[in-house]
Structures are given as C-alpha cells and as structure tokens.
Structure 1
C-alpha cells in the first residue's frame, strides 16, 4: 500500500530523531536544547540546536517564520550530531538581509572573521506542504545557505523539501557546501519554483539539485554551478525546467547535468562552443546528460531507438556542462552505435 505524506514525514522525522538519539547515547550531552525565541512580529529568531551532542530542535506549526536578529544566522546547526527539524504545514520562511547566511552550521560572519564552532555533522531538514521561502536579500555575494562540516567522520546533511510535497520552493541567494561529509539535497517541485543564485560544492562536499515541477508548470534555476576540489560532486536533474547558467568542474570535482522532458539550458552570454550545441536546443523526446570533470566534458544524448551523440569540450583548467568559456573547443561524436 502506498504510504501517505504524513507517514513518510513521520518516518523521516523518526529516523532523524533516532540518529540524534544514538549520538546522545554514545556521547551524553550536558547542554539542553535552547528555548525558541520570537521577535515582535512573531517570527522565530536565531534558532540553534545547542552545543551538546545528539540534541534535536524542532520548529513546527502552520506557518513557520524564522529570521535573524543582530549578528547571527537565522538558523544555525551547532554541537555534534545535532538535528534541526523545520516543518510548516502551510509555509516555511527562513530569511535574512545580512552578510550572515540565513542557514548555516557555524557562528561568526564568514566575510569579516574566522568562523568559530563549526558543527560536527548533524542534520537540517526543511519541509512543508505549502510554500518554502529561503532568502538572503542582502545581494552581492551573500549566501542563503552556507554549511561546512567541521568533522568529516560525522556526516552533515541538509535537505530542502525532502518529501517533495511543497507547493512551491523559492530560494534567493548563493548556496555553498564545503568539506568532506557535507551533503545537500534541494528539491524544486510544485508550481513556479525557483532558485536564484550560484551553487557551490567545494573540498569534498556533494550537492544534488532536483528540478521537477508540477505537470503544466515550470521551475527555473538562474545562476551557475561550480564544483572545486577532489571528490566534490554536483548532480543536477532537471525535468521540464529552465537552467540559466553553466555548470563547471575544477581540480578533481565532477558535475553531472541531466535534462529530460522539455528542459532547456542556456549558457552565460560570454560562452561559446557548448552553448550552441546544448543551450540553444530544447530537449525533445530524449535524455541529455552532461558530465564534466576537471579535464574534460562529455555530453550524451539518448534518443529512443536511435543513436548516442557525445560532445567533448576542453578548457584550460575549466570545464562547463552547458556552456564553455570563450575560446574553448568541442568535438561532436556522431559515429557511435545505437544504444
């Protein structure tokens, strides 16, 4: 029997609580979970999980709103193996207008000082059946998400709309994931969902971006993606979506972009080469996959009962799926056997 949304969400929450409980059993915590505070508008401010081990901070309700107050992140995962669960039945809003990213796992302003007290692993899970809004309106190079694992032996996982039940997901600001053991999953589902900002996976981090809008709608990602460093991985799965930007791989990282349905990818204006091959052609009844490493890019187009075509592009130390920098070269291979 198919499981209900409530059942799936219960299992996810139960699993997160079980993981946190296991950490607590192995490492008894002396610090309690901090009490939630609100501002005059009723929004929760400066949410943390405490400095202990295996703690769980849950913020639930119909319309959950979280923001920052003073020099702090709106939501900060702290401690060792701790968990923050955000679940708003009707909506979730986590916002800031600050150099401090709304969602992070360390204290301090990364642009002004060396951050202190990185969390050692842990979980952040953000869910809703309504609208999820994650935004840093400060502009410039500021992040909406900035997570950097402080202990590669303890996994750090951030999930946005893991249940894929959100009616809309709107994200504004850059997404930065860094260090081994850091894993992020973002699901843009529902109607007219969007992500506006650059996406980074550095120094062994992994990020998965699933763009899969409701039938008859679309979802848009505006901004490029970059993986940098050995074992850094970015996976973009776009179905009936619009990607406005290129996806790069440097120094041992790997980027894979898969377009299905009526997805379109447009490379940045300064690009040539791949943009003429990949960005200007909407996918038809086919699947288009681009995989880039720090040394080459390969595109594979799989059409039903026809042939496989591959495009290989080379750029000095820089490669992009969907658009290559000016001066790059590419080779199209059309003599491969049908799949």
Structure 2
C-alpha cells in the first residue's frame, strides 16, 4: 500500500483511484461496507481518503482522547484489507477552510483525479460541515467523477459506530467491540523503555504508550501480539496489563504486555496488541508475593482462553 500525505504533486500512478472517504476510526464493519462499495464501484486501484489529525482533534484540541486507532494502526488495518493507496490528508487551516465546492474541485478532481468516490450516508464535508452526501453527488456530476452513498449498517437495530465501540471497550467488553469492528481491537506502537520492573518479577513486559487513544477499561487482558518487524516478526499469545500500576504509585496509563514463551529484545520494535478477553480489573496487592501469585493466575487464565481460539 502506498501512503500519500497531500493531494498535490502526486505521481500519475497515484491518481485515478476509486476511493472511500471518511475518518475510518477503528475501520469497523460499517467502514468496511463503505470501502467494499468503493472496491466494487469502478475498475481502478482502490484508495482510501482520510484525515490526519482527526478533524475532531483539530476543532477540539483539548477534548479527552477518543481515537480507537492512531494513524499507524489505521494504516496497518487498511493494508490488511487490500487498499492500494491511502491518502492521509493533512487536516489543518487550509483543508478546514475549503468550501464543499472547493474541496471537490481542488482535492478530489484536480488533485487526486478520482474516478469514483464512496461515502457513508452520514458523511459531511467542507467548511462548517456544509456539504453532505447529496452535495457530493451533485458536485461529482459536474466535475466528472462518480459517487456512491453507502447505507449505514448494523444488527439488532444497532448501527455499527465508533461511539458504540468506545463504550464497549470502556465497559470491558472487548468481545462486543470485536463483533462491531469485525476484528480484535488493537493497540499499536513502539516498544518503549520502562522501569524494567517486570523482569524482576518473572514477567518481562513490552511497554507501549496509550497517548491520544481512548482508554479501554483498566485491567488485565488476554491478548494476541503481532511483532510487526525485525528479527522477532511473528505472532505470540500473551497477557497484558492496561492501567496505572497502583502497586507502584504510577498514574500515567500505559500498556504492559507479557508474551508467552518469548525470548528476545523488543525495544524499538512495533507491536500490534489485540485485546481478546477482559480478565479482571486493576488491583493493589499486599506485597509482591501476592502480586506475583495473581500474575501467575492471570497468565494461566489467558493461556486457556487463547488456546481455544
């Protein structure tokens, strides 16, 4: 997959795609329907237009973190489902100030030269969110590209949405999040140096930042871990603590993951940690012996759950 960070100066091979357009936070089943509709709409390379940072971060920079995915994780998911071109457009003053007409002309027609655009029926665009899917269809007829409006999808009367997925994760229901996403919820990023306390307890962990992300319920999870590159590239089952480490007076949430039967150095590597099942809430123990005993129980429970997948 080729990633492009602007709508100007593109090589000719990056123009003329059939594209799905939206924020695609989570790349959930509703998003997949939009992308699949784009795939079917035209005989052209498949592209996705999205925005970085998320427009909500631009308009409300002090709001609590809400994203299900960082840019790296979203790109990895889109690559897995066969997207050829990711147009990760910079959302700043220039883009935010374009009217719907200017966006359609300057970005879609002149810049990307799109063959076809697919959006969800709730899509809004342009300065002040003045344009909707019907506006885009009218502009496409004028500017020479096709437009498909994909219906919202769901089940049991519930639409698949990033909001509903965030609530499921906040409640400690990763199985419900997985049902709506169509894949496990993943936290992806670089392995950072931590306090290295886990190795003294018999559980060396890979530490990752949660900065900018919506926090799932704090606690311990059974996880599947993909090491995305380097000499240890591959998949391992594991157990992870997502929280503030109350035993040690820490209060900055992070993700600490123990990979079963793994040996090696992961510092600087990038991991994709899938939250498979919620085991228990975060706890404070009466001493290290009690903590280690609970970690042993957590690891055994996670091994049992993951062995059944």
Q: What is the TM-score when the length of structure 1 is the normalising length?
A: 0.27
Work out which structure has the larger RCO, using CA pairs closer than 8 Å and 6 or more positions apart in sequence: 2
The structure with more radius of gyration: 2
TM-score scaled by length of structure 2: 0.29
